[in-house]
A and B are shown apart, each in its own frame.
Chain A
């Protein structure tokens, strides 16, 4: 049973566009929500993370929006660049930050 559901499976945007990836979770005990970026042949790398006491967090061009009541969170990539083309995973965990439940991933392609 997938505890974190991610959508869409893939998306294509033009350079400068704002890809938006959505995730939903069921377990209200989750208290840590990171996003990872993965390039082909590489391991996932932490992009940005949020705790449920905050509704929004920005780091550079990446923004997480968090809706605790709806049990949903999303990633926005502002002013997207071709170098942002990668697979993005949302994840969630409770207590121990390292035991993560990952979504299925979203392949983002940013065209020039």
Chain B
């Protein structure tokens, strides 16, 4: 399968714990995006990378959130000191520079 893959698919954690999600984009795609989707809502843009450079961050990305794409390939999204309001589906997507966005199946976070 050469699509966007995300890991883990589901994470349950206690409030205050740190969690990290990984995204492996389609190999030839130089752009990588993170979105967040809550129940009954459309995805909301969080941040994106072109190669290894993080070019834009949404105001939704508080100081507790950090994303990296160290070698321009896979990316990680870390949430520190999780809160119940962080419970959501975290979607990763990739694209060529001006091309269709391909989404992964998402990582669902449940904060107890």
Residues of A within 8 A of B (CB): 4, 6, 34, 36, 41-46, 49, 89, 91, 96-105
A97 and B98: CB pair below 8 A? yes
Residues of B within 8 A of A (CB): 4, 31, 33, 40-45, 48, 56, 91, 93, 95, 98-106
Please list 25 pairs of residues, one from A and one from B, whose beta carbons are closer than 8 Å in the complex, sorted by A's number.
A42-B106, A43-B4, A44-B43, A44-B91, A45-B103, A89-B42, A91-B42, A96-B48, A96-B98, A97-B95, A97-B98, A97-B100, A97-B101, A98-B33, A98-B48, A98-B93, A98-B95, A98-B101, A99-B45, A99-B56, A100-B101, A102-B42, A104-B40, A104-B42, A105-B42
List 5 A-B pairs, minimum CB-CB distance, nearest first: A102-B42, A43-B103, A89-B42, A43-B105, A44-B103
Q: Which of B42, B43, B91 has the most CB of A within 10 A?
A: B42
**B12 nearest CB across to chain A (Å):** 16
- In the docked arrangement, what's the CA distance between A105 and B45, Å? 15
